Amino acid sequence: MIFSRAFYHQYVNSDVDTLVDSAPTVFTVADKSPKLLPEGMQVITRSIATTTSYSVPLPAGYASTSLLQVIVRTNGVLKATIVSPDHANSVSLIYGTSSEAGHYSVVDTVTSLTLYNPTASSVIAEIFLVVLPDLTDPASYLDGEIATGVQA
């Protein structure tokens, strides 16, 4: 909550005669999106048989120094193992059902991603991999429409 002078005068000082107008606030709504390279995006749909592993191929040319958005959807239980150069290995169970997909999503530097099906029936995995640009660099964004307005 922002305690502006106007707010203070209106609700704390409670003397109507002392109300002051706050300065108009100019705001902008900018339509931005990161520049994503087609070769840096990969979608895989894969059936994984019972008690088998699937080593997910990373996008061609991807270096594990870059950020990778990893999204996995599944209709069963999968064990996801991510190896990253920046921290210890990660092992997680993803829980989904035939009527409600299980989700798994990280933004990380990735050396390898393996999905293992520990269950007694095959499951389907949808895997989305997107190489992200340097999100702190303004040059990494496409600029669209910019709307401006004034809040009196």
Residue of 79, 112, 124, 126 that binds other proteins (CB under 8 A): 79
CA atoms within 13 A on the CB side of 133: 15
Is residue 69 within 8 A of residue 132, CB to CB? The reply is: yes
Question: Nearest to residue 55, comparing CAs of 127, 113, 131?
Answer: 113
88 scored as a contact of other proteins (CB under 8 A): yes
Tell me if 127 contacts other proteins by CB under 8 A.
no
**In this chain, which of 114, 118, 126, 128 binds other proteins, going by CB under 8 A?**
118
The strands making up 87-95's β-sheet, listed across from edge to edge, are 53-55, 112-116, 77-84, 87-95
> Which tokens hold the place of 69?
């958005």
Q: Is 59 in the site for other proteins (CB under 8 A)?
A: no
| Min CB(25)–other proteins separation in Å | 18
40 contacts other proteins (rule: CB under 8 A): no
Residue closer to other proteins by CB (options 22, 132) is 132
Residue number with CB closer to other proteins (9 or 130): 130
The H or E element containing residue 116 is strand 112-116
Q: Is residue 102 a contact point for other proteins (CB under 8 A)?
A: yes
- Give every CB contact of residue 120 below 8 A, 6+ residues apart in sequence: 50
- Considering only residues 6 to 25 of the shown chain, the ones binding other proteins according to CB under 8 A are none
- Which chain residues interact with other proteins by CB under 8 A? 32-34, 67, 71, 77, 79, 82, 84, 86-96, 101-109, 118-119, 135-136, 141
